[in-house]
Chain A
Amino acid sequence: MDFEPSDTQRALLDALDALLRRHAGPARSRELAVRGEYDHALDAKLRAGGFFELFADADAGPLEAALAVERIAAELGAVSAVPHLLVLPALGLPSPEGPVVLAVRDDASPVRYGAAARRALLVGPDRCAAAELVPDDATPVPSAYGYPLARVSPAGTTDLDPGTAAAAANWWRVGVSAEAVGMMRKALDLTVRYAKDRTVFRRPIGSFQALQHRLAELSVHVEGARWLTYEAADHGAPAEASAVAAAHTMAAVRRLTRETHQIMGAVGLTREHDLHLWTLRLQQLAAEAGGLRGHRRAVTASRWGAAA
């Protein structure tokens, strides 16, 4: 048991941070969001840097890959980090260049990069399928939530081995949790900073206990989500631990969204301020892989064997 990053982990994350500082971050995100694009340049940089191979790397592994996913999301990297770094390698599948869709099988809900992606992984309860997408398979939907969304209904799919369904679902849960943890930490930091700076009645709003307690509780939820996610990744995404991490994380997302926006007031609702870059994207993450209700029921199913 060791909650501190090793030297290798630190070096890896330092290198990733350096890359993300140059090729991601709020400014880059704003630039792309105007056009609603996948960041092929970042995809290429991460790929060239070996970050898509961490999962199976002898000197790294799934935990390192999850930590990288967290950082990429925190820096608003507009790439399909969860499939590239976690789900595809967990299934032993190659990682193609560009966006990859993760979707619940037989569910037409909008997914990230649905229109641009040429590859999709459809995760069902018993069976997982891969699909090559053609432009006709996708219907873009208008959405203000930071990702280009589209409904995807692939014409042709290929069933994968039966054993892959659980692994795909579990790593998807861990991955989307890692992304949300990274984003929540950013949003919380931003809000805490704001609470220190913003004064009303000649005192910083962060000095009011009514706000302090809410921010303190948020920190408890975000830290819980963070360590549950790391632990699940390190243990190889067991069903219960993955669902636990996702359920805790997505419950925290609900709360964090409300509290950060409430505390930041009207300025937090503007496009000028950065807060929305994280909080809006978080809503898509909260909807994925079955959403909060699905995660919670999956916890019960795997712990007590109840049919979810």
Chain B
Amino acid sequence: MEFAFTEADAAFRSDLVAYLEPELAHWTRSEFGLGSAVFTDFSREFVRTLAAKGWLTPHWPVEYGGGGQGAWQHFVLGEEMWMRGEPRGPQYMNVNWVGPAIIKYGTEEQKRTLLPPITRGEVFWCQGFSEPEAGTDLAALRTRAVRDGDGYVLNGQKIWTSYANEADYCFLLARTGTVADGRDGISVFLLPLDTPGVEVRRIEGFVGAHSFNEVFLTDARVPAESRLGEENKGWEIVRRTLAYERVGAPRYARAARVLDGLAEWCRNAGLLADPGIQEQFGNARVLCEAARVLVYRVIDERAKGKEPSPMAYQARAAMVLAERAVGDLALDVMGSEALVEHSPGDAQFRNSLGAGIAAGSYETQLNLISRLILELPKG
């Protein structure tokens, strides 16, 4: 047991920071631009540069355009990016799990055609999982993929599909078996979003202005080659490739950065000498730190190549608490200043409302902790 980064990891981080600081000096994330043209235009350009400098897929195997770095470097990359508002936009998904899923389960043809655009930073992927009747209960999904000659015909509806309005591809889950098959009747499709029969409709939200979309699939025909992995084995693919995505978005890192900004705001407003406010800041900082150390514990497992354990659920629950604490603090200490558009309080509060919903609800994490860690009996 020891808690220091290796020299190599620390050097990786300082090189990365040295690159990012000037590169992002004039950019601050517009929280409301998530998925919007402004945000994605910046992101597209930035990620291409990132790719050219070797900072996009340093953790991928060398043979697929990566740098062969390990799990800690991968994580440090995510931490430094999230801290700065995730300037990679949707492409963090590409490099965290879409690409790795294709590397692990894809055919040679899929790898040859789909990986290079990811490593060059030229393509957006979105995640077609949730449906109106299948969110937390994902295995209830009903979008159908029916065999038809040498391809499949897709029919159904996806919802809450962030970035679908800008994405080129969707990593789509569809039912190739029956609903009664549950998890055993699901396959993954790598669906080009310009496929005829695919229609994207935006849903107005107030967390990220364009982060919600619906995707309608009406007799959308795809070749069999667009299926990833074996038919009906999609659940296992998703389980494995997304095993670390509960902590793949290190939200505490950005919450901690926002908190630093709020402390500066309070100092300038003459509020930081107030003992009550000092306590609140202390509390919020502590929750960010607790989330960090619990996430590190999960990354340690990953770095050792172990099977993912349920500790990730504790880490994610802690991240939710951290984001909420910073959001609450912002409204408490800033008062109505926090309601002014683009103020740090506004951004953090709106974001924190989604913290316990995206990537698996907070309650689901608690259910899993109860069952798998505490081993409490089923209700």
- A: residues with CB less than 8 A from B are 1-6, 9, 63, 67, 192, 195-196, 203-204, 206-209, 211-213, 215-217, 219-221, 223-225, 227-228, 230-231, 234-235, 241, 243-244, 247-248, 251, 293, 295-301, 303-304, 306-308
Contacts and interface: CB of A to CB of B under 8 A. Distances in A.
Interface of B: 1-6, 9, 72, 260, 263-264, 267, 272-273, 275, 278-283, 285-287, 289-291, 293-294, 296-297, 299-301, 303, 311, 314, 317-318, 321, 363, 365-367, 369-370, 373-379
Contact of A216 (B260, B272, B290, B369): B369
B273 A307 contact: yes
B376 A304 contact: no
Tell me whether chain B's interface is mostly helix, strand or loop, or mixed: helix
Tell me whether chain A's interface is mostly helix, strand or loop, or mixed: helix
Nearest to B314: A220
B290 A1 contact: no
Contacts of A225: 290
Contact of A1 (B272, B300, B314, B318): B300
Contacts of A300: 263, 272, 278-279, 281-282, 285
A304 B267 contact: yes
A63 B2 CA distance: 8
Contacts of B282: 243, 247, 295-300
Contact of B376 (A2, A9, A192): A192
A168 B264 CA distance: 29
A196 B376 contact: yes
B374 A209 contact: no
Nearest to B275: A297
Contacts of A296: 278-283, 286
Nearest to A189: B374
Contacts of B373: 216, 219
Q: Which of A204, A208, A220 has the most CB of B within 10 A?
A: A220
Given A227-B297, A299-B281, 10 more contacts: A3-B1, A63-B1, A211-B376, A213-B367, A219-B373, A227-B290, A230-B1, A235-B3, A248-B289, A296-B280
B286 A299 contact: yes
B318 A224 contact: yes
Nearest to A247: B286
Contacts of A219: 314, 369, 373-374
Contacts of B263: 300, 303-304, 306
Contact of B300 (A2, A6, A307): A2
Given A244-B289, A308-B278, A212 B3 contact: no
29 contacts: A1-B3, A1-B6, A1-B72, A2-B300, A3-B1, A4-B300, A5-B1, A195-B376, A204-B376, A206-B376, A207-B379, A209-B379, A216-B370, A219-B314, A220-B294, A223-B294, A227-B294, A230-B3, A234-B1, A235-B4, A247-B282, A247-B286, A248-B289, A296-B282, A297-B279, A297-B282, A301-B278, A304-B264, A306-B272
Contacts of A192: 374, 376
A48 B192 CA distance: 71
Contacts of B297: 3, 227
Nearest to B311: A223
Q: Which of A6, A231, A243, A298 has the most CB of B within 10 A?
A: A231
